């Protein structure tokens, strides 16, 4: 950010009165431009014991697999956003159930919120942002071809919960260990991981 979006003057980094961290402050009108994390919403969809994944048609990570997810828009709720993203990327109508995870991706300022979901009506297909949409048996999940580390963590915890019969809402922050690719799950750690136990009847 170089210019004020209100008046067009240059912005400087400064700590506003009563604040304790540097913000972008306009040198002309004095407007303070706060930067906050953005919310990503999406769905882990199970159908007949298999999980739905989309192969990305867009950057970043074209050709890699992920779950339907994207930025929450203004004037929609978390669950509406998760269902909309699924419709756009996988042409699937879903029943959004209990949350699976809310992970803070500290290095990129995202709160990644995934819900458990199932198909509300049969059928799915590649939307414009996907090359391909498929259901995978758990043992066939293409772990080495997933698009983002957060998806690796979320799918493994989903399968753990399923195996144990004890669903959780997983909270925590994902932190890159500072070495190697930022796109490899092995280079991340799930910090402050909290399992909030859910009533199995509600999931």
Nearest distance in Å: CB 145, a copy of itself: 24
Residue among 92, 111, 94 at smallest CA distance from 37: 111
Residue among 79, 54, 75 at smallest CA distance from 65: 54
Residue 90 · residue 66 · CB < 8 Å = no
The dihedral built from the CA positions of residue 79, 63, 184 and 159, taken in this order, carries a sign that is positive
Nearest distance in Å: CB 35, a copy of itself: 6
- For a copy of itself, the closer CB: 146 or 169: 169
- For a copy of itself, the closer CB: 48 or 202: 202
- For a copy of itself, the closer CB: 10 or 125: 10
CA–CA distance from 23 to each of 26, 30, 32, 94, 141 (Å)?
10, 11, 7, 40, 43
Q: Which residues of the chain form contacts with a copy of itself (CB under 8 A)?
A: 1-8, 10-11, 18, 21, 33-39, 71-80, 98-99, 102, 104, 106, 109, 111, 128, 169, 171-173, 191-192, 194-199, 201-203
Nearest distance in Å: CB 155, a copy of itself: 20
CA dihedral 123, 46, 198, 39 (to 10 degrees): -70
Residue 85 · residue 73 · CB < 8 Å = no
- For a copy of itself, the closer CB: 4 or 141: 4
Q: Rounded distance, CA 54 to CA 83, Å?
A: 14
Nearest distance in Å: CB 139, a copy of itself: 29
Nearest distance in Å: CB 158, a copy of itself: 16
- For a copy of itself, the closer CB: 134 or 193: 193
């Amino acid at each position: 950010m170089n210019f004020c979006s209100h008046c067009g003057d240059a912005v400087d980094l400064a700590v506003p009165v009563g604040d304790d961290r540097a913000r972008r402050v306009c040198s002309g009108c004095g407007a303070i431009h706060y930067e906050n994390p953005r919310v990503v919403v999406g769905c882990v969809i199970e159908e007949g014991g298999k999980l739905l994944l989309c192969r990305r048609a867009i950057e970043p990570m074209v050709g890699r697999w992920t779950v339907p997810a994207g930025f929450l828009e203004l004037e929609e709720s978390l669950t509406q956003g998760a269902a909309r993203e699924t419709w756009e990327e996988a042409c699937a109508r879903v029943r959004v159930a209990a949350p699976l995870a809310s992970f803070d991706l500290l290095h990129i300022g995202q709160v990644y919120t995934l819900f458990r979901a199932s198909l509300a009506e049969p059928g799915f297909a590649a939307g414009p942002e996907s090359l391909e949409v498929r259901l995978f048996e758990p043992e066939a999940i293409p772990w080495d071809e997933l698009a983002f580390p957060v998806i690796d963590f979320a799918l493994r915890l989903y399968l753990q919960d399923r195996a144990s019969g004890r669903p959780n809402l997983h909270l925590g922050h994902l932190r890159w260990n500072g070495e190697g690719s930022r796109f490899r799950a092995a280079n991340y750690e799930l910090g402050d991981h909290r399992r909030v136990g859910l009533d199995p009847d509600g999931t």
